[in-house]
Amino acid sequence: MTLYGIPNCTTVKKARAWLADHQLDVAFHDFKKQGVDPAWLARVAAQTGWQALLNTRGTTWRKLSDAEKAAVSDEASALALMQAQSSVIKRPLLEIEGTYHLGFSEAQYQDLFD
C-alpha cells in the first residue's frame, strides 16, 4: 500500500494521520522528492480518468495562465502538465493492490478498510 502526494498538503496530512491512527502500514511517495513516473501516471489515469486525476481546484492550477489551462484538452496534454507540475495531480492518491483511490475523507477510508 502506497500513499502518493506532497507532504505539506493539508489533505495528505489528514490521510497520513488517519492511516497512522488506524495502525495501517503505508509507504509514502513524495511527488516533489521522488518525481512522477510517466508509465505509472498513465496507468493511474487509465483507471481513474484523467479529468478526475487533474486537480483543477488547487493553487497550482489557479496560477496557470488561461492559455496553459486551455491547452489541457485531452489525456495527453493533461498527463504532460501533471508530469511537468506534479502539484496538479489530485491528492492524496492511495494505491491498494494496484487499485487507486483519489482524495481523502474519513468515510471513504473507513469503507476501504472495513
pLDDT in tens, 11-65: 999 999 999 999 999 999 999 999 999 999 999 999 999 999 999 999 999 999 9
Instruction: Give the per-residue pLDDT at 109.
Output: 97
What fold, for 2-113?
Glutaredoxin (3.40.30)
Per-residue model confidence as pLDDT tens digits over 53-98: 999 999 999 999 999 999 999 999 999 999 999 999 999 999 999 9
Catalytic residues: 9
Q: How many CB atoms lie within 10 A of CB 10?
A: 8
Q: How many CB atoms lie within 10 A of CB 42?
A: 15
**Domains in the chain: boundaries:** 2-113
Instruction: Give the per-residue pLDDT at 114.
Output: 84
pTM for this one? 0.92
The C-alpha atoms of residue 45 and residue 79 are separated, in whole angstroms, by: 8
Q: Match 502500514 to its residue by C-alpha cell.
A: 25
57 and 102 in contact (C-beta within 8 Å)?
no
